[in-house]
Each structure stands twice: as C-alpha cells, then as structure tokens.
Chains A and B, each alone.
Chain A
Amino acid sequence: MRTTHLSPRWSAKCAPESEGQVKGRSLLVAGVSTGIILIAGIFFVALNLVMQQGARPAPGSPAPDFTLKLYPGYRAGLPEEIRLSDLRGNVVVINFWASWCVECHKEAQALENVHRAYMDRGVVVLGIDYLDTEAPALAYLKQYDVTYPNGIDLQQRIAKAYRITGVPETFFIDRDGIVREVVVAPLTEAQLRAKIEALIED
C-alpha cells in the first residue's frame, strides 16, 4: 500500500502499535478476507448455475434420463412407471404440455395422429404434463381422444432436467438416446411426420 503524503501539514501522527492492536488487526484481516471470499464464492456458484440453466440439452447431446408416472388409462401398454432409458431402441418424441396452455391445444390432435400412424414402427410419443392439476389434464386428454402414453411431471423434475422455458416444447430423441432436435412451438402434423421419418431412416 502506498502511503503518499500530499503535504506534511496533513500527515497524521502514527503511534506504535500495541500487542492487542496487532492481534485485533489480524482477527479483522481474517474476518474481512473470509467475508470477501464468501461473497465471491456465492456469486460464482450462482453464476455457474445460471450458465447451466441457460441451455436445454442441445441437439447431439444425450437426453437426460427420467422416470415418469403415467396417468391410468394412458399407458399404451407400458408399465405404470417408465424410464426413458427403457425405451432405448425406439425413436422418442417427448412433448411437454399443460391443459391451461392455449398453444398446446393446437397440436394435441397432430400428436395423437402421429402416434397412431407410427406406433408400430418403433416410435413412442410421450406426453409430459407440466404444472397441471389432474382433473383438467384428464379432461384435456379425453377431449382429444389421446391414446399415447401420458404422465405427470412430479415436482417438475423432468422439466428442470430439460430446462424447458414453457409449454409446448418438443424434444426428438433418436434410437441411441441422443437429442436430435428441440422445437419450442406448436407443431403441425406434417412437421411431425417429416421429423420422425428422418429419425426412422437414420
């Protein structure tokens, strides 16, 4: 630390330090530096989190595994609780939706049609119900005569793993469990078919 004196007039008297003062000072140094390190630490941890949060699983990266509890009556022959990794070998279309989401209603029919068309060709359409209560969700499924497997995202775990920013969001996953495409908008049937065909042919 530089101790420049502008002019002698202003220089303050400096008394020799006593032992107690030295001890007090080292305590203070320790306290202050701990504080600084703590604040810096908090900030960096937080920053790291934000950086991670920003990105959903990018195309080309493995799809995060999860278990999904399916709604009774919407299991399509699958067990009550399924794991994504159990579906390996199939092309999986994960669709996040909610009954209160206006845009989701636009694509519900398309998803159901695609499910019926491709269910025998190794394609699983998986509906994940996001932040939804049960009664309106089941009413929604009934309204569109949905038969593809559907379940609730308990405690928003899957939504968090996939870092979705809202609904609808659709993830296309290939036979090896790799995310190939993410669409953050309602899809038409033609778009769905094109994307699925591309993955089947791969």
Chain B
Amino acid sequence: MMKSSICACISLLLVTWLTAGWAQAQVPAPDEPTYRIAKQLNCPTCAGRNLADCPTETCAQWKAEIKAQLDAGKSAEEVLAYFQDRFGPTVLQEPPKSGITAPLWAAPVGAAVVFLAIAGLVMWRTAQRGAPSPASDGTDAHDPFVAALEREVRAGE
C-alpha cells in the first residue's frame, strides 16, 4: 500500500514539474528557410559552429547570399550545392552519407553491430557449454533481488 502511495506522490510531482515548463516551451522552431539552410552550413570564421550561430561579418554576408538565392527562386538543395561548389565540401555541417564520407557513417553502425554480435556470441557460446556454475548464491529464484535485499538489511544489525 505504502509503496504505491509513495509512487503516486512522486509521479504527480514529477509530471507537474516537467509539464509546467513544458507548456511554455511549445513554440514551433522557426521555419524560416534561410535559417534552416544556415544551420546546415559551417561558418568559415567561427571554428566548429554553424552559420546560424555565428555573428561575424562573413557569416552575415553568407546568410544574405542564401536569402538572395532563395528569393531568386532556387531550392534549398540548389543553394547548398552552390555553397559546396564555391567553397568546397568543408562547408557542410553534416557530411553526406555517400562518397568519401560514407565510411564515416557506416563505422559507428558497424562497430555497434560487430561489438554486440561478439558479445552475443560470447554469451551464446558460454550458454552452450551448459553446466550452470556451482555457486548460485542461494538466492530465491522467484524474487532474487528482494531476497538479497532482506538478507542484507538484516545482516547489518
């Protein structure tokens, strides 16, 4: 009984806290095309930041260029392609998933898969060897945690 009442209290508290801040934060991100393209480009004069975040003069010009091209009727892809042609592939924030940067994207996925596969293999192989280890800690199979806990709690006194 007590457990559930504590749980309910905590739940209520957290939900109100989380959502209180939440209701305010529900403004959709600015859907300005210039902004969206600027977020995808690197700023040449602020190392490591995207164009939208960089307040320097160069970046102001670049943003103006994006706007001018959009106003001239170019699509977002065309604008990005223009910047890539003019300033090189370094300008893209997100390396493309093809070409020379394909391995970059494949590596993490590959690593996760290979690592997990190895872990799985190890587990499978040891499980195949059968014969559970002799020491099973004498814990209650039905609720081992609670059993261990009770034992521990008592042991200290």
Contact = CB atoms under 8 A, between A and B. Distances in A.
Direct contact of A and B (CB under 8 A): yes
Interface of A: 98-100, 131-136, 152, 154-157
A154 B61 CA distance: 17
A131 B44 contact: yes
A100 B61 contact: yes
By size class, the interface of chain B is 10 to 19
Interface in B77-124: 85-90
B117 to A, nearest CB: 16
Interface in B53-97: 56-58, 61-62, 64-65, 68, 85-90
A100 B58 contact: yes
A168 B23 CA distance: 51
Contact of A155 (B44, B65, B68, B88): B88
A156 B90 contact: yes
B61 A136 contact: yes
A154 B56 CA distance: 21
Contacts of B61: 99-100, 132-133, 136
B62 A154 contact: no
B96 to A, nearest CB: 15
A28 to B, nearest CB: 13
Given A98-B58, A100-B58, A156-B90, A133 B64 contact: yes
Contacts of A134: 65
Nearest to B66: A133
Contacts of A135: 64-65, 68
**Chain B contact residues: helix, strand, loop or mixed:** helix
B58 A155 contact: no
25 contacts: A98-B58, A99-B61, A100-B45, A100-B56, A100-B57, A100-B58, A131-B45, A131-B87, A132-B61, A133-B61, A133-B62, A133-B64, A134-B65, A135-B64, A135-B65, A135-B68, A136-B61, A152-B86, A154-B85, A154-B86, A155-B85, A155-B87, A155-B89, A156-B88, A156-B90
A19 to B, nearest CB: 17
A133 B65 contact: yes
A135 B60 CA distance: 13
Interface centre among A99, A155, A157 (most CB of B within 10 A): A155
A131 B89 CA distance: 13
A168 B61 CA distance: 18
Contacts of A154: 85-86
Nearest to A137: B61
Contacts of A136: 61, 64
A156 B45 CA distance: 14
A99 B88 CA distance: 19
Contacts of B62: 133
A138 B86 CA distance: 15
A25 B56 CA distance: 57
A98 B86 CA distance: 14
A155 B92 CA distance: 12
Nearest to A136: B61
A130 B96 CA distance: 24
A155 B62 CA distance: 15
A191 B45 CA distance: 29
Contacts of A133: 61-62, 64-65
Contacts of A98: 58
Contacts of B68: 135
